[in-house]
Structure 1
Amino acid sequence: MQNTVNPTNTAASIKACLFDLDGVLVDTAVYHYKAWKRLANSLGFDFTEEQNEHLKGISRAESLNRILAWGNVEKSEAEKLELATLKNNWYVDMISHMTPAEVLAGTVDFLTSVRKDGYLVALGSASKNSGIILEKTNLAHFFDAIVDGNLVSASKPDPEVFLKGAELLGVAPNQCVVFEDAVAGIEAAKRGGMKAIGIGNKNVLTRADMVVSGLDKLTSQDLKRL
């Protein structure tokens, strides 16, 4: 059963910021795409950038299931595990060469600002490699809690990853604002009873409370508008 929280006080003041990783703080989508494409090609079919967009915010296992379905390929659970591991090895090899230069515009300034203003900060990502990425991009020190695919089992739009983040920070869900670039992530925030700021296209992230093109378009003062 999927987690859902009904907020009891929608006027609660924001105390914590929960960030997705890919597409919000850094852009690792290109590395996921290259690794999945390599895997698909090795199985005899192609994988497009448009298809890659449909994998935003979901787990590695679910991503693999979708890719195999697109390629009309059937594999046993053991074979799926081998393929997912192979893809991840290729992906980790690529992200191990990331640098702080790959942090998206405005990320460091915004994280610095919300920390200075007393907001708690957590990561809420489906990625199981968030530790490597945060280390390579020099962002780890901003976070009070890190919740990723190693700590949760349910994929977004299930709100488990964000509810766990709120729990670790010691705040109520309705005191949190989530920063997400994926429809599934915005849906997860809403199911968790949280505010959501979309990073991307307002015509796509329609359920978000606010949508901007990037963190460089926000200041910590904008959170008070929520």
Structure 2
Amino acid sequence: MFKGVLFDLDGVIADTSTLHFDAWKKLVNNYFSAKLPDSLEEKTKGVSRGDSLKVILNYLDVSVSDTMFQRLLVEKNQTYLASLENLSIKDRLPGITEFITELKQHEIKLALASASLNGPAILDKLELRDAFEAIADPSKVPYGKPAPDIFIAAAKALELNPRDCVGIEDSSAGITAINHSGAYSVAVGTHPELKAANMLLASTAELNLDTIRQAYPHN
């Protein structure tokens, strides 16, 4: 059976992914007097802050200086952090508490493999920090998702081969990253681009050990 589970954060453990896009919308409205379509959100999910901004600027067909680029990154993060002030245990997504409890009961190791630099602080607010044996630092890997680096780093932090791990994601970039790392990919969500996952579940409420264990190919 698999020995570790590598979790994405936004949209998997807590519904913070919508807060990211809301922050981008405010930023674009303030600086460019423009609106972002909801359809663009999927392209900004699971990737780094800088890569998200590149997607947005490309959509707007706008170029900015390096100084302005960094300013936009800082301001977006400040807006996002402000939206997290009231985040608490009640913001865990459905089924996550039970799933994590089940994994811990079976001595399966957990690692966070999120592109968010705010991951540790968010886990603290959700009162889940102690459940994770490792948190991969996205600033320490060469390439962000869809490259596999963060999932390889998360598995290594657990002293495991990615092949012995399950990765859980809600973004197409994240699923690509898991697949390329060698881990078994589980997607939660209904977006068509998630079909590249080894297992597709409609929501986090469907996450449970038996379902994944039965499908896991290396039993």
Classify the TM-score, shorter chain.
over 0.9
Deviation at 1:47, TM superposition (A): 1.3
Question: Is 1:51 the equivalent of 2:51?
Answer: no
| Alignment size in residue pairs | 214
SS at match of 1:54: helix
CA deviation vs aligned residue, 1:128-175 (integer Å, no higher than 9, x gap) = 111121111111111000114333341111000000011110011110
- Aligned twin of 1:41: 29
The answer to whether the 8 Å contact 1:156/1:188 transfers is yes
The answer to whether the 8 Å contact 1:25/1:103 transfers is yes
The answer to whether the 8 Å contact 1:202/1:211 transfers is no
Letter in 1 for 2:29: N
Query: Superposition pairs for residues 136-155 of structure 1, below 5 Å?
Result: 136-155=125-144
SS at match of 1:91: helix
Query: Superposition pairs for residues 170-189 of structure 1, below 5 Å?
Result: 170-189=159-178
Which structure dedicates a bigger proportion of its chain to helix?
A: 2
Question: Is 1:164 the equivalent of 2:150?
Answer: no
- Aligned twin of 2:68: 79
- Aligned twin of 1:7: none
Aligned-pair identity in percent equals: 33
Q: Give, in whole Å, the separation in 1 of the partners of 2:97 and 2:35.
A: 36
SS at match of 2:187: strand
Cα RMSD for the two superposed structures: 1.4
Deviation at 1:73, TM superposition (A): 1.6
Deviation at 1:202, TM superposition (A): 7.2
Letter in 2 for 1:109: E
The answer to whether the 8 Å contact 1:183/1:204 transfers is yes
Name the TM-score, length of structure 2 as normaliser: 0.93
Q: Give, in whole Å, the separation in 2 of the partners of 1:33 and 1:92.
A: 13
Q: Give, in whole Å, the separation in 2 of the partners of 1:103 and 1:49.
A: 23
Residue 31 (structure 1) aligned to one of 1, 14, 19: 19
Displaced runs of 4+ in structure 1, greater than 6 A?
none
Q: Give, in whole Å, the separation in 2 of the partners of 1:58 and 1:202.
A: 16
SS at match of 2:146: coil
* Unpaired stretches in structure 2, ≥5 consecutive residues: none
- Aligned twin of 2:8: 20
Name the TM-score, length of structure 1 as normaliser: 0.90
* Unpaired stretches in structure 1, ≥5 consecutive residues: 1-12
